[in-house]
């Protein structure tokens, strides 16, 4: 099992003072080449079962769990699956909002066929009390071929109320 990093997703940053609201839909492209290597990643070999891919940093004060979608437009290797969740940057869990590797997309979400999957989370939306990484955990089978997916996450920047 390896930790894999990818270049930070470039998107419009959250804004809480816009007249039109503070919701953002974050788009994260996810692609593997013909050898099963994530394009632009820190790992030069094919993705293996149990690898964790760090996709981006989610700032504290962000409400997550409002909706997520996975669009697989070019199927990955047969039997591949994933989960999508978050892990705190400092690695220390928070009882009120525990880290969850399958918060956005449940373990076993198939990537081996073309699909447009809309997650139906059983968890209530939460506000992150500190910065967290968006993580994707690979399962089912190792990557051995190309694949293309797009992840869409609905988030709202709420801010953090500081203790006085």
Distance CA 67, CA 58 (A): 15
For residue range 23-78, what is the model confidence (pLDDT) as tens digits?
888 999 999 999 999 998 888 999 999 999 999 999 999 999 999 999 999 999 99
- Minimum mean pLDDT among 16-20, 74-78, 132-136: which range? 16-20
Nearest in space to 61 (alpha carbons), one of 146, 131, 141: 131
Q: Are 157 and 22 in contact (CB under 8 A)?
A: yes
Residues 6+ apart with CB under 8 A from 66: 23, 125, 154, 155, 156
User: What does DSSP assign to residue 38?
Assistant: B
Distance CA 100, CA 137 (A): 11
Residue 15 has pLDDT above 90, yes or no: no
- The pTM is what? 0.87
For the chain, domain boundaries: 22-157
Question: Tokens 């869409």 appear where?
Answer: 152
Distance CA 57, CA 89 (A): 8
Domain 22-157: assigned CATH number: 2.60.120
């Amino acid at each position: 099992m390896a930790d894999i990093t990818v270049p930070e997703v470039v998107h419009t940053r959250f804004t809480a003072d816009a007249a039109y609201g503070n919701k953002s839909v974050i788009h994260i492209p996810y692609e593997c080449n013909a050898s099963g290597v994530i394009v632009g990643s820190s790992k030069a070999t094919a993705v293996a079962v149990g690898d964790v891919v760090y996709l981006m940093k989610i700032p504290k004060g962000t409400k997550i769990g409002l909706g997520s979608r996975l669009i697989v437009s070019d199927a990955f290797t047969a039997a591949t699956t994933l989960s999508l969740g978050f892990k705190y940057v400092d690695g220390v869990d928070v009882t009120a909002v525990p880290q969850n590797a399958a918060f956005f997309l449940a373990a076993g979400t198939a990537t081996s066929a073309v699909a447009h999957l809309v997650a139906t989370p059983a968890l209530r939306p939460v506000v992150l009390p500190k910065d967290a990484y968006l993580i994707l955990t690979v399962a089912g089978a190792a990557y051995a071929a190309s694949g293309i997916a797009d992840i869409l996450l609905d988030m709202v920047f709420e801010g953090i109320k500081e203790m006085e």
